[in-house]
């Protein structure tokens, strides 16, 4: 079976870790490299988190690159504690003191440009955090998007419902300018898993228990990093999400990764132009869908809407069967 080549750009929190493991478990996926950016934690913590995931899965040969430490414009915003201060639930005590030696010397953006140029039109890019590295890549090489096979993004929103501001989703709010640049200038086929898409396609907490109770290194690792994280507390999240979407377990970044691995996971989508709002105090970072063609943009993106939960569940379950011989 021919390998699907992918670069994963991540701000590795718990759900990013799950998405990365999903890619590692897919039999027809070859991860060329993992590029790191700020977001769920500092970029230094993100690098350590990625190395930890790769170590658990016995895939330490995959290169990891350190990238953007802050947004394209303005000062760093306060980091979220959604997944703890370190991004992995603040439960890891024995962190690797030599982690810096395991990070590639090449900057993440340079690595992204090089890997895509070496594999013209063959590489998919899956972006799981703020889009700063991607925006810098297109500024350094305006032809970069043309060299990609396609782009998958977890981020943005469809209906003006925010999870960190009144109208904005976390990844886009952390760097609105970069989100704007990517959705305006990346004219390759683009697929987006929004916050609402993730929350509307939840899984049961009973499934989460079955998922993390598998007797494998990856499952034990996932159980540990979710053990004290309020975002994986059934009672806390039922109360928090009841307002819009009702209760359920959501692995946000895994939805974008699943769409890359198996396009049939997405059973319904909206194809339209989009634009990220950069002005205003309430709507900055919000993504607007142009379903009436008022923007007169030729480029459309695929905004995911409905998900085959049976297929998605299998991909999640398989992701924690790691390590696999590969």
Is it true that the peptide bond before 147 is cis, omega within 30 degrees of 0?
Answer: no
How many whole angstroms from its chain centre is CA 286? 17
- Domain extents in the chain: 4-200+251-319
Q: Sort 160 into a burial class: Cβ within 10 Å, 0-12 / 13-18 / 19+.
A: middle
Tell me the C-alpha distance between 12 and 88, whole Å.
Answer: 8
- Smallest CA-to-CA distance from 11 within 116, 97, 86 is with 86
Annotated catalytic, 11?
yes
- Smallest CA-to-CA distance from 313 within 225, 210, 193 is with 210
Neighbours of 145 (CB within 10 A): 19
Question: Tens-of-pLDDT digits for all 326 residues of the chain?
Answer: 568 999 999 999 999 999 999 999 999 999 999 999 999 999 999 999 999 999 999 999 999 999 999 999 987 776 667 787 898 998 988 888 999 999 999 999 999 999 999 999 999 999 999 999 999 999 999 999 999 999 999 999 999 888 889 999 999 999 999 999 999 999 999 999 999 999 999 999 999 999 999 999 999 999 999 998 878 877 655 555 545 566 789 999 999 999 999 999 999 999 999 999 999 889 999 999 999 999 999 999 999 999 999 999 999 999 999 886 54
**Of the CATH numbers 2.40.10.340, 3.90.245.10, 3.30.410.40, 3.30.110.70, which one belongs to the domain with range 4-200+251-319?**
3.90.245.10
235-244 contacts at long range (C-beta below 8 A, 24 or more positions apart): 241/199, 244/161, 244/196, 244/199
- Which pTM does this prediction carry? 0.95
Residue 217 CA: distances (Å) to CA of 96, 224, 269, 319, 321: 18, 11, 35, 11, 8
Cβ pair 123, 7 in contact under 8 A = yes
Q: Of these residues, 11, 150, 175, 253, which one is catalytic?
A: 11
* Angle made by CA atoms 151, 16, 236, in degrees to the nearest 5: 125
């Amino acid at each position: 079976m021919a390998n699907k080549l992918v670069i994963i750009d991540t701000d590795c929190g718990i759900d990013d870790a799950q998405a990365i493991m999903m890619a590692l478990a897919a039999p027809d996926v070859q991860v060329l490299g993992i590029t790191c950016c700020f977001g769920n934690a500092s970029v230094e913590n993100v690098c350590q988190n990625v190395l930890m995931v790769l170590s658990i899965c016995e895939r330490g040969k995959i290169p990891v690159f350190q990238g953007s430490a802050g947004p394209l414009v303005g000062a760093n915003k306060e980091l979220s504690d959604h997944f703890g201060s370190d991004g992995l639930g603040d439960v890891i005590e024995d962190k690797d003191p030599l982690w810096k030696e395991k990070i590639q010397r090449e900057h993440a953006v340079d690595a992204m440009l090089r890997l895509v140029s070496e594999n013209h039109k063959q590489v998919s890019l899956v972006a799981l955090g703020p889009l700063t590295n991607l925006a810098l890549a297109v500024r350094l090489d305006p032809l970069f998007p043309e060299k990609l096979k396609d782009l998958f993004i977890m981020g943005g929103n469809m209906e003006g419902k925010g999870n960190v501001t009144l109208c904005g989703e976390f990844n886009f709010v952390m760097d609105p300018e970069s989100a704007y640049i990517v959705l305006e200038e990346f004219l390759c086929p683009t697929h987006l898993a929004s916050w609402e898409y993730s929350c509307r396609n939840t899984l049961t907490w009973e499934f989460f228990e079955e998922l993390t109770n598998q007797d494998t290194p990856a499952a034990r690792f996932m159980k540990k990093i979710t053990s004290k994280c309020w975002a994986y507390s059934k009672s806390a999240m039922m109360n928090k999400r009841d307002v819009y979407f009702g209760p359920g377990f959501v692995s946000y970044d895994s939805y974008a990764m699943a769409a890359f691995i198996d396009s049939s996971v997405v059973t319904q989508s909206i194809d339209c132009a989009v634009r990220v709002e950069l002005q205003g105090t309430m709507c900055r970072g919000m993504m607007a869908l142009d379903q009436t063609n008022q923007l007169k943009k030729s480029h459309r993106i695929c905004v995911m809407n409905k998900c085959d939960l049976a297929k998605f569940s299998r991909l999640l379950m398989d992701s924690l069967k790691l390590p696999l011989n590969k």
